[in-house]
Amino acid sequence: MPLNITTDKKYIISSIIIFVFIVMLTKLFMLQIVEQSYKLSASNNVLRYIPQYPARGLIYDRNGDLIVCNQAAYDLMVIKNEVKAFDTTEFASILGINIDQIRASFSQIKRIKGYSPYKPSVFLKQISSKTYAVLQEKLYKFPGFDVQPRTLRTYPNKIAGHLFGYVGEVDEDMIAKNPYYQLGDYIGINGLEKSYEKEIRGKKGVKIFMVDVRSRIKGSYENGLYDTVAVVGQDITCTIDAKLQGYGEKLMANKIGSIVAIEPKTGEVLAMISSPTYDPELLVGRERTANYRTLQSDTLKPIFNRALMALYPPGSTFKIVNGLIGLQEGTVYPTTRYGCAGGYPIGRGVGCHIHPSPLSFTQAIQMSCNTYFCYVFRGIVDKPIFGSVENGFSVWKKHVESFGFGNRLNIDLPNELRGLVPSVSFYDRYFRKGGWNSLTIISLSIGQGELGTSPLQMANLSSIIANRGYYYSPHVVKEIKGKDGIDPKFTTKHITTIDSTWFNYVVEGMDMAVNGGAGGTALNAALPKIRICGKTGTAQNPHGADHSVFIAFAPKENPKIAIAVYIENAGFGGTWASPIASLMIEKYLADSISRPDLEKYIKDAVLLDRHARKK
Amino acid sequence: MQERNSTLGGLDWPTIFIYLALVFMGWMNIYAAVYSDEHNSILDFTQRYGMQLIWIILAFALALVILLIDRRVYFVFAYFFYGLALLLLISALFFGRVVNGAHSWLQIGSAGIQPAEFAKFATILALAKLVGVYNFKILQPSSILKISIIILLPAFIIILQNDTGSAMVYGALILVLYREGIPNWFMLFLVFMVFIFILVIIASNALILILLFCSTILLFAIYGDKQKEVISYALSTAIFGLVLYFTLNYLGYKISSTYIILTSMIIGIPIALVYAFFRRIRLIYFLTLFLVITTVFALSVDYGYHRILPIHQQKRINDLLGIEADPQGWGYNVNQSKIAIGSGGFWGKGFLGGTQTKFNFVPEQSTDFIFCTVGEEWGFVGSTVVLSLFVILLLRLIMIAERQREAFAKVYGYGVASIIFFHVAVNVGMTIGLFPVIGIPLPFFSYGGSSLWAFTILLFIFIKLDSSR
Ligand SMILES: [Zn+2]
């Protein structure tokens, strides 16, 4: 039977229905199976990832005293779309801000990357727990606002700002470099907080919530199956002795300079003072940026960590190094005597102060004779067997570098400087090739000229002498909770190129300088019960009065502390640096001060005039 | 054929089962769409799923009443029902409560009904009665006039109520008329017009005019058997247009290419007509008429769309055609709807597992956008099942309509199928981004008494008519 018009139409209508059905199924197939982006959009709609911030690890001093801890703070969050008209005057007065600031904050959050009126944005950072207590009672009056707990640092002793560094919020650059960080995270920006960031920061957690179209939380996602708990940061015990550190900071009040004290047997830094210092509390929380700016504009540069970053000439303390190299190279003997009539007579000459003459090696160190060490230095560089001044100088440089000069000691703190030890090519450029000899560079013999050393390197020198020939890289962390031992680079012995027997003559000289009576340069450092060995220095400074330098260690046998003290523009090392070192040593070893008058005199001294002592 | 004895005998049970399945699934999905932990009892009558259960039970009662009434009532009182529906529509227009900007609700006590929903079955009854008369000639001018009045009158009042979406439903009845005698070429012409309509929105006028001209020429080439003349005519018109264009350009007149093409056509048409007159080719007259009508249509759609249609409706259509997008603004509904359905994947997130619908990201998730819950919680599989049920129902209705001996029942059956088809296609089409957002419910699924009852009445009158054929 042929299809007539009527049956035809029945099938056409049915076909139209089936055709539309197939079109819809195809579209559904595209939406539900082919296209994946809708699943992501759905998660973005409904899932809210709330980071769980861990508290940073605590920091203890070497005696177990808590020196860096946490305080609760709260970030005030706002979901713009949920905010209803509220009493801005009351709100501002609770928060202790003015009304304009509220308006400013509202316009500011819109500029934050990833801002959404449906999601919480930080409205006001780091509200103190005191403010929070008041706010909490009245939060119901301000719909759309909520708080997120954070932790901030607090420093019970208010010491060692340079050492700890500070914590701040990550910026775009840091986020780009390290995907762990997200907007709003905290990160150690300087000091120990920076170098041990990974250990201290802990591990962020996340809570995943489901929210409805108005961002109201409707419950946890999959019953918290994908939530992670925040892991508190690891506690750190540092090598610092809080009492010694605090004492040093008091002694250095109104003085510019640095003290570094090291335990020679381990390389542990006992105290690291850079003066003027600042209260670490200033760099916490909302006022950090403003305070940082103020500190930065201070002409005395309190932010600058002189212990690691200031380079001074070592001055006469460097005679020890030259002496040791001479002994090692056999160009001077313990018994060698040189006469001194007010200076080294050859070339441009080097002046000397008045002292008995001639002097032996030990006496030359005790009385810090310039002439003696000019002979010693030239003896090394011009030693015939080396063939040329360049070769001789290179040998000298190699010895010097084995003391840790001219290179980073790799302390576990950021921003350590290498220091400066000149090289042959440096002099070839400075003069010309073949245009210099041992006389041209004679200043090196007394630690002046093209030498730059940090207080840390000088303390390390002191440590080397105390150990009679070796050192461990200075470090500030003794123990990380939950971790076995510290970085092996801090337990690796660095042995100098000088045989340990030669050190005994230097130690004798340093002993005599303090305890040897007439002619000693640091007699005011002597203590009745503790035998301190020390060496003064006076670092010439083209910009102002000489810097006062002193390195020392004690006790003479089995030393427990090695120290370097730099006081800028304070003149002769024996005047200011040596009594300060002596007080530090006494404080550390005896825990009491037998010379309160001296202590008071030092504490009260104001040495901030850079030119007062210029001769 | 003998008359059935029992009043409820001879019911088409497959249709009833599909109806029950759809109603039940609708209810479950409404439950899922508005589910919250505070109100989790499925019998909570403060919630929509609780209310829907009441509507469902009442709908069943209504169905039973319809089945018990003598079938002749529907034929005899067809115009009465129609008049009543018009009366209700007019009263809603004047006394109605405004919901979503439309005067579409009549308040009766604490409950409200939407006359527009009930006007559908009344209109179909009236149409069936008119067309079902023995020896009715659908193509006579008087018939066309009567049919137009019956269909357009309720549609017009509904448009006045500001509910254009519901009014468009009456357009679906073209399928009934097609079945009853509208020729194929007219339907093809309508399809072509729809195609032109879409093209006007996405393409430039000049392009459409060229296209219309070319299709006319092509039609002549196919049916007219005068290829040589066609080619030379087309070429000379094109060359004339190009020469005109470049001349004007050279003289420095910046004239829109639309006008150039129009000019070419206006000069070209009389030539073709003169040719037709002398060669006595009637096809040319028809094709000229075709060209003129489509051109006028295209230009008026262009004008109407860009000048008259409200911006928000323009945007909806633009979004659909991919011309512009604003997922946070006017495109929000469709975008969220697509996210909900798209995130369902193959198997769906499971019953009550949907987040987008439950947490209100999808607007109107229990009424017009109920299909989002199906898509999100039951995935591609569930969507296919629901759509298949609808398709089976529609094909079954056509099958039942075809077995009717009385034209009245048959026309009514096609009416029922057309209305349900239109609702399903437009409603699901809008949730998946195939059709502009038009607020009409998914039959048997969407929340709401009026809609459920109206579709129940619509369907069960037909089941009744069929049961005693
Ligand atoms: Zn001398």
Whether B206 and B302 have beta carbons less than 8 Å apart is answered as no
- Candidate from A85-94, B96-105, B195-204, B271-280 with smallest mean pLDDT: B96-105
Whether A525 and A514 have beta carbons less than 8 Å apart is answered as yes
pLDDT tens-digit profile of A200-249? 888 888 888 887 777 777 777 777 778 888 888 888 899 999 889 999 99
Q: What is the mean pLDDT of each run of 10 residues along chain A (615 residues)?
A: 58 91 93 86 80 86 87 81 77 79 79 74 80 80 80 84 84 82 83 87 84 75 79 88 90 88 91 88 81 83 85 87 88 85 78 82 86 86 82 87 88 87 85 81 83 90 91 89 83 88 88 79 80 85 79 89 88 79 88 83 77 50
- The predicted complex's ipTM stands at 0.89
3-state SS, residue A231: strand
Q: How far is the CA of A353 from the centre of ligand 1 (A)?
A: 6
- Taking CA B229 as the corner, what is the angle to CA B224 and CA B235, rounded to the nearest 5 degrees? 120
Whether B82 and B150 have beta carbons less than 8 Å apart is answered as yes
Nearest Cα neighbor of A316 from A522, A605, A501, A472 is: A522
Of A10, A16, A39, the CB nearest to B345: A39
Give the pLDDT of residue A2. 44
Strand A59-60 relative to strand A236-238: parallel, antiparallel, unpaired? parallel
Give the pLDDT of residue B6. 53
Residue B258 one-letter amino acid: T
Residues A108 and A153 in one domain: yes
- CATH of residue A252: 3.40.710.10
Let me know if residue A184 belongs to a domain.
Answer: no
Give the pLDDT of residue B456. 95
Instruction: Provide the token pair at B442.
Output: 């998914």
Give the pLDDT of residue B460. 95
Give the pLDDT of residue A610. 66
Give the pLDDT of residue A137. 81
Q: Which residues pair with A551 in a beta bridge?
A: A535, A564
Residue A102 CA to residue A367 CA, distance in Å, equals: 69
Looking at the structure of chain A, the number of domains it has is 3
Query: What is each CA distance from B44 to B38, B47, B410, B445, in whole angstroms?
Result: 10, 6, 42, 19
Label residue B134 by pLDDT band (50, 70, 90): confident
Let me know if residue A409 belongs to a domain.
Answer: yes
Instruction: Provide the token pair at B193.
Output: 């017009």
Give the pLDDT of residue A261. 92
CB A10 to CB B398 under 8 A?
Answer: yes
| DSSP H or E run through B99 | strand B97-99
Label residue B329 by pLDDT band (50, 70, 90): low
Let me know if residue A539 belongs to a domain.
Answer: yes
Residues A318 and A438 in one domain: yes
Q: How far is the CA of A372 from the centre of ligand 1 (A)?
A: 6
Residues with CB under 5 A from ligand 1 (ion): A 340, 352, 369, 371
Residue B447 has pLDDT above 70, yes or no: yes
Residue B351 CA to residue A306 CA, distance in Å, equals: 68
Q: How far is the CA of B205 from the centre of ligand 1 (A)?
A: 106
Residues A274 and A348 in one domain: yes
Whether A411 and A269 have beta carbons less than 8 Å apart is answered as yes
Whether B9 and B467 have beta carbons less than 8 Å apart is answered as yes
Give the pLDDT of residue B3. 46
CB A17 to CB B394 under 8 A?
Answer: yes
pLDDT tens-digit profile of B90-127? 988 888 777 766 777 777 666 678 888 889 999 999 99
Let me know if residue A371 belongs to a domain.
Answer: yes
Residues A411 and A456 in one domain: yes
Residue B146 has pLDDT above 70, yes or no: yes
Q: Higher model confidence: residue B259 or residue B123?
A: B123
**B254 CB burial (10 A radius; 0-12, 13-18, 19+):** exposed
pLDDT tens-digit profile of A121-146? 787 888 777 888 887 888 887 777 88
Q: How far is the CA of B150 from the centre of ligand 1 (A)?
A: 128
Contacts of B346 in chain A (CB under 8 A): 32-33
Residue B61 CA to residue B58 CA, distance in Å, equals: 5
A42 reaches B (C-beta below 8 A): yes
Q: Give me the torsion for CA of A605, A607, A611, A612, rounded to 10°.
A: 0
Per domain, the residue ranges of chain B are 2-184+325-467, 203-309
Of A31, A213, A218, the CB nearest to B338: A31
Alpha helical stretches, state H, A252-352: 288-297, 306-309, 319-329
Strand B102-108 relative to strand B97-99: parallel, antiparallel, unpaired? antiparallel
DSSP letter for A141, please: G
Residues A493 and A347 in one domain: yes
Q: Which residue of B has its CA nearest to A8?
A: B179
Alpha carbon B52 to chain centroid, angstroms: 25
Query: What is each CA distance from A523 to A64, A331, A509, A607, B6, in whole angstroms?
Result: 35, 30, 13, 21, 131
Residue B159 one-letter amino acid: I
Residues A105 and A247 in one domain: no
Residue B7 has pLDDT above 70, yes or no: no
Strand extents, DSSP E, A174-256: 186-188, 205-211, 217-220, 236-238
Residues A428 and A540 in one domain: yes
Residue B439 CA to residue B92 CA, distance in Å, equals: 18
Give the residue numbers spanning the domain of A497. Answer: 242-278+305-604
Of A14, A20, A43, the CB nearest to B425: A20
Residues A29 and A92 in one domain: no
Give the pLDDT of residue A172. 81
Q: How far is the CA of A614 from the centre of ligand 1 (A)?
A: 22
Residues A526 and A563 in one domain: yes
Range among A564-578, B204-218, B365-379 with highest mean pLDDT value = B365-379
Residues A16 and A123 in one domain: no
The arithmetic mean of pLDDT across residues B65-77, rounded, is: 90
Residue B36 has pLDDT above 80, yes or no: no
Let me know if residue A166 belongs to a domain.
Answer: no
Let me know if residue A183 belongs to a domain.
Answer: no
Of A27, A28, A212, the CB nearest to B359: A212
Residue A591 CA to residue A267 CA, distance in Å, equals: 21
At B70, give phi and psi (nearest 5°): -60, 135
Give the pLDDT of residue A4. 52
Record the pTM: 0.68
Residues A233 and A256 in one domain: no
Label residue B4 by pLDDT band (50, 70, 90): very low
